[in-house]
Structure 1
Amino acid sequence: MIVFFGAMNKIEDFNKEIKVQNANNVVGTIGFWLTSDINSAKPFAIGTKTVYEKSETEFWEDGEPKVIQVEKPVIGFIYKIFLDEPNLKVYHSTTADSYDLFMSDRDKYCDYFHAKKRNPTWKDEAILLNKEEANEKFRNTLIDQGYEGFVIRNCKLQNGFTDLYCLFSINSPLVSDIIPVETLDYQ
């Protein structure tokens, strides 16, 4: 299986360096998010990082520049990876959004707070009170069922539709190419 992994920083060792990917902050900690096409991996490789630098316009009373926090744009890399076929739970629907199926399955483990609704779900834009715990329980339930991850078929992302994969671990992946996003044609 050929998949694409977007990362804001260059990765030397997948097993040690990957902690949190530039993925949706609600589901990003479930696992490693990969796509079936290179263009859909771009959003995972583009973001910002916080840096501290001396200000050119703000100064202390003694004339020394203040140190300010700045969000700098980051344009990272896309990794083309060959993986053995993992055992994946498949979320696919011809009548509904496949992402909805995944999120509804995950909702069983979520505790939401919503002032106006009694049993809110992710669609209600309620406050998720137990993100890490919910993601861990969801992941462990699938692992207990023998899955190594899941795939959301025909998932809508910024750049169109793709198969969106989430793997719970990536052990020594075969990286065939590391592509700087800035070298890709933007669409």
Structure 2
Amino acid sequence: MIAYFGAMEKFENFNKETLIQNAQDDIKTIGFWFTSDIKTAIPYAIGTETVYEKSETEFWEDGEPKVVPIERPVIGFIYKVYIDEPNLKIYQSNSVDAYELFMTDRDKYCDYFSTKKRNLTWKDEAILLNKDEANAKFRNNLINHGYEGFLIRNCKLQNGVTDLYCFFSVDALHISDVIPVETLDY
């Protein structure tokens, strides 16, 4: 299987410490996100990073420049990856968005907060109180059922429709190509 991974930094091998990906905050701690085509991987490789620089306009009383945080744009890389056919739970439907099936399945582990109503779901855009715990419980449930990740078929993303993969481990991934996003026509 071939999949694409967008990352904001360049690296030689997949490992949990080096992966910096611009994924949705509520789901990025579930696993490592890949797409079935290169174009839909691009937004995962574009973002910002905070750097600290000496200010040209702000100074301390002694005249020394202050060190201030600055958000700098980052345009990263797309990794073309070979994956040895993992056992994936598949979210697929002809009547509803498969992403909804995935999020509804994950909602069993989520605690939301809002003053509006009870029995909240991800669709209510309420505050998720236990993101990391919910994602860990969801992931562990799938692992306990023998899955190494999951596949959301025909997922609608900002710039198209793709199969969206989430893998729980990066041990079986083999990088075949690293493509700078700036060289792509997007």
Q: Does structure 1 conserve the Cα–Cα contact (< 8 Å) formed by 2:7 and 2:19?
A: no
Cα distance in 2 between the residues matched to 1:138 and 1:168: 11
Q: Does structure 1 conserve the Cα–Cα contact (< 8 Å) formed by 2:13 and 2:175?
A: no
Name the structure 1 match of 2:84.
84
Cα distance in 1 between the residues matched to 2:172 and 2:120: 40
Q: Does structure 2 conserve the Cα–Cα contact (< 8 Å) formed by 1:76 and 1:180?
A: yes
1:11 CA drift (Å): 1.5
Cα distance in 2 between the residues matched to 1:164 and 1:44: 12
Is 1:6 equivalent to 2:3 in the alignment? no
Q: Does structure 2 conserve the Cα–Cα contact (< 8 Å) formed by 1:14 and 1:172?
A: no
170-179 or 109-118: bigger deviation: 170-179
Which segments of 5 or more consecutive residues in structure 1 lack a partner in the other structure?
none
Cα distance in 2 between the residues matched to 1:169 and 1:148: 7
Matched position secondary structure for 1:17: coil
Is 1:108 equivalent to 2:133 in the alignment? no
One-letter amino acid matched to 1:65? P
Is 1:63 equivalent to 2:24 in the alignment? no
One-letter amino acid matched to 1:29? T
What aligned pairs does 1:127-138 form with structure 2 within 5 A after superposition? Answer: 127-138=127-138
Cα distance in 1 between the residues matched to 2:67 and 2:132: 33
One-letter amino acid matched to 1:30? I
Could you state the TM-score of these two structures normalised by the residue count of structure 2? 0.96
Name the structure 2 match of 1:147.
147
Which segments of 5 or more consecutive residues in structure 2 lack a partner in the other structure?
none
176-185 or 17-26: bigger deviation: 17-26
Alignment: residue pair count: 186
One-letter amino acid matched to 2:63? G
Cα distance in 2 between the residues matched to 1:135 and 1:94: 26
Q: Does structure 1 conserve the Cα–Cα contact (< 8 Å) formed by 2:53 and 2:70?
A: yes
| Percent of matched pairs sharing the same residue | 72
Matched position secondary structure for 2:136: helix
1:63-112 alpha-carbon deviations (Å, 9 max, x no partner): 21111110000000000001111110001111111110000000000011
Name the structure 2 match of 1:46.
46
Matched position secondary structure for 1:15: coil
Could you state the TM-score of these two structures normalised by the residue count of structure 1? 0.96
Name the structure 1 match of 2:31.
31
